[in-house]
Structure 1
């Protein structure tokens, strides 16, 4: 079993993926992606911009892999390649995180290449697969260092995240479904004596109870129903009561952790598709384009595995 306080591989790739997205979109995403409809393949390739994107992505990739090799795993013992079956871990919240990280990376990669004028099929091949390309070496590293292990279920989740980007472009020529994330510090952190993080920032990476993953879809694809084109409905998944990967710890740092029941949460809520908000401001278009993966707090309904039905005035 993995050492309890160390970050599982999902957090490593999520951190790298979000940093990649912020760096690339802040510095290179000059032309926001149209909110609806297919992008034509008649745009001339901006070779200078394309070179800049490729160099930036390559530099980030090398930097990320170097960080893992020379800093993250520096004090870890290298062992023969081995596997680790964590498919049941954290009630699969970890797998949603893997898929989300791959989706964000593939989404950014695809749209960056399209913004440089690269044809759709090439952008899908080289950009749409970026999430899987970035995350596979992390799984391989996990397989050769003590305390982790190569996980086929992680690989499947990584592939699913990239496939969600590629599949939608092939089917609808747009990202109709947005894979989103919301975070709210859970009450379990205060009860865990540091096991789930000593601060709210640490709990972002250590406390799966605080994570919710969403699939968000516009209620009106073409705005023909009279509803705003940005108004969406979102289905979410989360879990609670987790003080460990497969079963809950009872002690940490010599202090007791209260006994809790682990349970799954299934949620339904409204949402905003940031990329469909109409604005003439170039700045706001760039801001909204960069927020595509964030779920806006809205009222929500929850059905959980304890058989309870709950309502929230605001869920985030």
Structure 2
């Protein structure tokens, strides 16, 4: 969403900004309630502690999710504030601050619970995602690189053998991609030689980290993937509402063929 959506004549600026503020507060409250019930319901730690949780059984797959969260919190916050007629420099600064503080509070609460701890690797991933959104604001050429995600439930989740497994922890079913607009990166004289709707994506996922039949933990292997996919932003039609739908869909990687590079080389006819 860009500043063209700031239309003071349809609603006064104070009302728009109040609505934006209420949205931020409501989103924060809703997500806090979710985290409190889903994550912070176990035993509290004797004291606040830090946990350098690199390369666990799920091979840092959670860090890609943290990166994506930081990116979207900053990106959506920026769009919401600019739609409320906040100036562009102020909007991106406030959105970045919100994204940082929101995810920082989660780590602080994690540091109070035995099972988690304050994860500075998570914080690094959070901040990196936010930083990409800010960098794309100031350097439009970087918008050629878009974080996307795909998800397909694993057998372990469907079998229900592990009571703690839920979609947010179903890391083996999640794939995080960096989708690249090749046409946007070409020199002016070469533009059009690559179809603009086709993007090249590099993805990261993992093999099973939960054994489907027993629910026990496994040491997963990293999966690195290469794929072509379609850019929903380039679909036909220019209606403002449709444009927003297309832009939202452009952050989802839909099933398509892929080349798996690790842990073994193979072509996957329809990677989900």
What TM-score do the two structures reach when normalised by structure 2?
0.83
Report the secondary structure of 2:204's partner residue.
strand
Partner of 2:154: 186
Could you say which residue in structure 1 is the equivalent of 2:105?
Answer: 137
Q: Which residue of 2 aligns with 1:148?
A: 116
Separation in 1, partners of 2:262, 2:41 = 41
Please list, as runs of the form range in 1=range in 2, the aligned pairs for 1:286-305 lying within 5 A after superposition: 286-305=244-263
Equivalent positions of 1:1-316 (< 5 A) are 33=1, 46-65=13-32, 68=35, 73=40, 76-77=43-44, 79-89=46-56, 90-172=58-140, 175-189=143-157, 193-195=161-163, 197=165, 202=166, 204-221=167-184, 224-243=191-210, 262-305=220-263, 308-316=264-272
**Superposed displacement of residue 241, structure 1:** 2.9
Once the two structures are superposed, residues 90-113 of structure 1 have per-residue CA deviations (whole angstroms, 9 ceiling, x without a partner) of: 111111111111112111111222
Unaligned runs of at least 5 residues, structure 1 = 1-32
Of residues 230-239 and 125-134 in structure 1, the stretch that sits farther from structure 2 once superposed is 125-134
**Secondary structure of 1:58's match?**
helix
Quote the residue 1:7 is aligned against: none
Q: Using the TM superposition, name which of 125-134 and 296-305 deviates more.
A: 125-134
SS across alignment from 2:177: strand
TM-fit CA distance, 1:290: 2.4
Question: Residues 139-189 of structure 1: CA distance to partner in whole angstroms, max 9, x if unpaired?
Answer: 000101222200110100100110110112222277322111101122444
Distance 1:192 1:310, change over 3 A: farther
Would the alpha carbon gap of residues 274 and 174 (structure 1) be closer, same or farther in structure 2, given more than 3 Å must change? farther
Matching residue of 1:12: none
Query: C-alpha deviations, 1:86-140, integer Å up to 9, x for none?
Result: 1112111111111111112111111222223322211211113433221110100
Distance of aligned partners of 1:276 and 1:113 in 2 relative to their CA distance in 1, 3 Å threshold: farther
Asked if 2 retains the 8 angstrom alpha-carbon contact of 1:301 and 1:310, the reply is yes
| Matched residues, number | 264
In structure 2, the partner of 1:13 is none
Q: Is the 8 A contact 1:232 1:271 kept in 2?
A: yes
- Label 1:315 to 1:241 Cα distance change in 2 as closer, same or farther (>3 A): same
Q: Describe the shift of the 1:156–1:314 C-alpha distance in structure 2 as closer, same or farther (beyond 3 A).
A: same
* Cα separation, 2, equivalents of 1:225 and 1:174: 19
For residues 187-223 of structure 1, what are the alpha-carbon distances to aligned partners after superposition, in whole Å with 9 as ceiling and x for unaligned? 44467723574xxxx3x22321111000112121189
* 8 Å Cα contact 1:130-1:162 kept in structure 2: no
Structure 1: distance between partners of 2:244 and 2:18: 21
User: Is the contact between residue 189 and residue 196 of structure 1 (CA under 8 Å) also seen in structure 2?
Assistant: no
Question: Contact between 1:131 and 1:161, CA under 8 Å: does it hold in 2?
Answer: no
Q: Is the 8 A contact 2:159 2:213 kept in 1?
A: no
8 Å CA contact retained: 2:224, 2:261? yes
